[in-house]
Structure 1
Amino acid sequence: MKLGEIYNKISKEGFRVLSIIDSMLPRYEYVPQEVIFSKIKVNPNKLMDILEQLVALSLVKRKLGSEVGYRLTYLGLNVLSLKSLVDRGVIEAVGDKIGVGKESEIYEALSPTGARLSIKFHCVGKKSFKKLVKVRSYAASRSIASWLIESKLNAAREYKAITILSQYSDMVQKPYGYSRNAVATEFVEGVELYKLPYLSNPIGIFERIIEVITISYACAGIIHGDLSEYNVIIRFPDEKPIVIDWPQYITKEMPGALEVLKRDICYISKYFNKRFGLNVNCNEIYEKIIAESLNFKCDNTKLTAVKGSEHYDDF
């Protein structure tokens, strides 16, 4: 069943129950059934029907035993985030899933004005959590609630980063809003860099990626922290690079920041050298960025963040 179809099956009271369970994440792994009953004025029989539906739709998971409890699933958190974005007029409709990252799922959407958007749902630890039944890992000592909370933190960080960066560059996605674990941005019509065997102007594209690195460091004090061919979309037909995936960014004041900056530069430099036959020296580029950042003129007239997009609540 598609996300939009699941969304349309949930009643007002159903969303209220999801919100109650979400609000209890810091306190409970599984929210006791009696706690949920105490937080909402709904007939007990009807409330049980609502909980049964949420379980059937895989939006919550139920734990049986001496104390019955419920927790959100990643899908449940996604739907709750979607509800908030719809209620605030950020999005009007959600479409198909168009991408899956290491710790995210991306869907196409429409704004109330008909603009094409992307919604990125952060799902930190989802793959690790699924493997717990097979292997012991770092995730084994963590609850699903902690992963959901971290997913919210990642969304907040990414939204903050692109909101700042979009004031200085149009080579990051324009933010429209965020809620919980979801970030809504402009839709970019393009192809991930790693999928492209050929570029008509590889040196020009490389230099524009370096421009984003320079601007983010000099003007916003931000370092991407995971820059690679998987985090760059080449927009067509103009072949403009859009640098994506910013939740793991660090600030330049943090310990080891310069090493992370150099790692980002060297990784993308080596990729272009190997893939497209360039001969760029990452050490020279690094030194140039550090030198230029001291007197870099930051143009913050490109205020591309959409007015009214500051949706920081529902953490």
Structure 2
Amino acid sequence: MKLDTSHMRYLSKSDFRVLTSIEMGSKNHDIVPTPLIHSISGIKNASLVNKCISNLAKIKLISRVRNAKYDGFRLSYKGYDYLALKAMVQRESLYAVGVQIGIGKESDIFSVANKNGETLCLKVHRLGRISFRTVKNSRDYLGKRQSASWMYLSRLAAEKEYKFMQVLYDAGFSVPKPIDNSRHHVLMSLIDGMAMLKLREHDDPERLYNLLMNFIRRLASQGLIHCDFNEFNIMIREYDPEEPEREAVVIDFPQCVSIDHKDAKEYFERDVNCIRLFFENKFGYVGDYPKWEEVERVGHLDVEANASGNDRKAYRELEKYMKQQLAEKEEEGKFDEDGSEEDEFEEDEDSEEEQELEEEDLADQVNDLKLT
């Protein structure tokens, strides 16, 4: 899904106020009644509210559901995007949106910029985009309010990822620098590297292998397991003797669990085996690997990441969803004969050409997409 911000500059404060009202109403209504929108917005001029609703509907930030029992509207993912972007712009962490640089099953990745012209990375969670069509019948925990629930889970996934990146970055782990989080959007530093799955050769496979195994071991000693530690979620950078640990940067943290989790051993061993199998098939390298029995807790990052009083019931819903996602990967057959994971995402056709423009001023790419 593209991130079209072309209409954002033309929306008024009242438009965003009404859009926020629909978001608030979505907490208890799949279809938000028009009278409730008027009430939550606090705008006394009813005709102005109706005009705002019409404006938002025209650019598909909201949609009217036909054949409903009452007159009402539903927030779209595009509308949710606008609310998230608006919050980041107001906090001055984001200024311009550039090109799309990656597409996942349930997330989109964009290059963006701040006011200083620094290129950053924006990850947009879109849970339910694929799975909703395939396994929606088995996900009773979403209830009847499917649309709002998927957005809610996307928000939880983004919040969880941002929180885990914060504690890991502060603890010195090689992860992107977290910058901001709003709803289902996560803003982070852009990694100058490539996904490990694209590696065809490496000057020292043993060094890289040991680096990744040490990451798994150290992460577990701090009370955490990644749960999806594979070549898709590891970015490889040019080796720097002064910062050897930054040769590999680990991404994607919504599914992280504590080593106290009842399935922790299974997740830990799966992470280890993913790396073992990749290196064996890709480079013919077989090395030592950490064992679950050797894990010794020396830190409590898992506790720190969950210490802000979040809704534990909601996070159990997210955990259930993530667990089902991991199970689906196993059922589909995660690795092909060459040891490579089946395509989980595709890049834009012009992504390689776009990446060649990295040295150019990002403003040249986003003349019409400035968020003002």
1:155 aligns with 2:153: no
Q: In the alignment, which residue of structure 1 is the partner of 2:284?
A: 277
d(CA) in 1 for partners of 2:54 and 2:201?
A: 52
Q: In the alignment, which residue of structure 2 is the partner of 1:138?
A: 138
Aligned residues: 292
CA RMSD, 1 decimal: 2.6
Deviates further, 51-60 or 159-168: 51-60
Per-residue deviation, 1:155? 0.6
Per-residue deviation, 1:28? 0.4
Secondary structure of the structure 1 residue equivalent to 2:212: helix
d(CA) in 1 for partners of 2:44 and 2:279?
A: 60
2:48 to 46, 49, 53: 46
Q: In the alignment, which residue of structure 1 is the partner of 2:30?
A: 29
Structure 1 residues 136, 215: closer, same or farther in 2, change over 3 A? closer
Secondary structure of the structure 2 residue equivalent to 1:166: helix
1:118 to 121, 128, 134: 121
Within-5 A mapping of 1:160-239: 160-219=163-222, 221-236=223-238, 238=240
- Residue 30 of structure 2 aligns to which amino acid in structure 1? E
Q: Work out whether residues 4 and 95 of structure 1, in 8 Å CA contact, stay in contact via their aligned partners in 2.
A: no
Secondary structure of the structure 1 residue equivalent to 2:117: coil
Q: In the alignment, which residue of structure 1 is the partner of 2:362?
A: none
Deviation readout 1:72-106 (Å, 9 max, x if unpaired): 11121111111111111221222122111121111
Q: TM-score normalized by structure 1?
A: 0.84
Q: In the alignment, which residue of structure 2 is the partner of 1:301?
A: none
Q: Which has the higher contact order (CA 8 A, sep 6+)?
A: 2
Unpaired runs of 5+ residues, structure 2, are: 241-245, 302-307, 315-372
1:286 to 275, 286, 291: 291
d(CA) in 2 for partners of 1:56 and 1:209?
A: 49
d(CA) in 2 for partners of 1:136 and 1:149?
A: 16
Per-residue deviation, 1:119? 1.0
d(CA) in 2 for partners of 1:2 and 1:174?
A: 22
Secondary structure of the structure 1 residue equivalent to 2:130: helix
List structure 1 runs of 4+ shifted beyond 6 angstroms: none
Q: In the alignment, which residue of structure 2 is the partner of 1:302?
A: none
Q: Work out whether residues 21 and 71 of structure 1, in 8 Å CA contact, stay in contact via their aligned partners in 2.
A: yes
Q: TM-score normalized by structure 2?
A: 0.72
Q: Work out whether residues 25 and 37 of structure 2, in 8 Å CA contact, stay in contact via their aligned partners in 1.
A: no
Within-5 A mapping of 1:71-82: 71-82=74-85
d(CA) in 2 for partners of 1:4 and 1:161?
A: 28
Per-residue deviation, 1:136? 6.5
Per-residue deviation, 1:194? 1.2
- Residue 217 of structure 1 aligns to which amino acid in structure 2? A
Per-residue deviation, 1:200? 2.3
Percent identity, aligned pairs only, is: 29
Q: In the alignment, which residue of structure 1 is the partner of 2:268?
A: 261
Q: In the alignment, which residue of structure 2 is the partner of 1:252?
A: 259
d(CA) in 1 for partners of 2:40 and 2:297?
A: 55
Q: Work out whether residues 58 and 76 of structure 1, in 8 Å CA contact, stay in contact via their aligned partners in 2.
A: yes
Per-residue deviation, 1:34? 1.1
- Residue 9 of structure 1 aligns to which amino acid in structure 2? Y
Unpaired runs of 5+ residues, structure 1, are: 299-309
Structure 1 residues 53, 218: closer, same or farther in 2, change over 3 A? same
d(CA) in 2 for partners of 1:51 and 1:148?
A: 20
Q: In the alignment, which residue of structure 2 is the partner of 1:14?
A: 15
Deviation readout 1:224-265 (Å, 9 max, x if unpaired): 111111111112465811111000110111112122111111
